[in-house]
Amino acid sequence: MIKINRSKLIPKVLVGLAVLTTILGLTTTARAGAPPFIWEYFQYNVISLGVDIEIPQDEPCLWGVAGACTEEEIETRFFPKPPFKHRLFIDGEEIPLRRFVFYDEEGYVFGIPETKWYCFYQVFEAGYFDLGEHEVIHEAWVQKPYAGSETYGWRIFVNYEGPEYLYGPIGVQHSLTYTLTVI
């Protein structure tokens, strides 16, 4: 008869359950869709249009950007490979951005099925900004397929091959600067 040492078995079972739970959690999160709270923010003033904009001080606002790509676009280098990140600076101060990724299996957002969306956003409550003008700088960063000189290969996105109407002029860094006026 085989004797089982229970003092060694219980930690192994617990570690195995933790790993299994983590794997299941990651796979279901990737295809879960947009978080339900995000749609309520669309009633806020949007300040991420890349053009000079004016908003009232006593109302909340939303800064957000989303990019979508299919696996085919990444394989053909029509779109850069993930990971992506966006950096937002307001009056020289970097604003931490929230993010989520969702897979639009049915193509509900823009009618393109099997599209993966990378969304970055920040919500500013009413009264966050002082009255007057604020400089807003938005930078899009990529890591692959081109290595950059920054830590871990991050660099500002430069359109090398994609169409200009989607990714901007060929050879120009993707960085937008505009003015936010709070009244």
Q: pLDDT (tens digit, 9 = 90+) per residue, 67-121?
A: 777 777 777 766 777 777 889 999 999 999 988 887 777 777 667 777 888 888 8
Mean pLDDT computed over 120-149: 83
Centre a 10 Å sphere on the Cβ of residue 104 and count the other Cβ atoms it contains.
20
Is the pLDDT confidence value at 56 over 70?
yes
pLDDT above 90 covers a percentage of the chain that reads: 15
Cis previous bond, 83, omega within 30: yes
Return the higher-pLDDT residue of 9 and 162. 162
Span 12-33, average pLDDT? 45
Which 3 state secondary structure label does DSSP give 59? Answer: coil
pLDDT of residue 130: 92
For the segment 133-145, the average pLDDT, to the nearest whole number, is: 83
What pLDDT, on a 0 to 100 scale, did the predictor assign at position 147?
A: 53
Provide φ and ψ at 129, rounded to 5°.
-95, 140
Q: What is the mean pLDDT of the chain?
A: 74
Structure confidence at residue 90 (pLDDT): 92
Tell me the CA end-to-end span of the chain in Å, nearest whole number.
Answer: 82
Pairing relationship of beta strands 115-124 and 98-104 according to DSSP bridges = antiparallel
Q: Which tokens hold the place of 165?
A: 């109407």
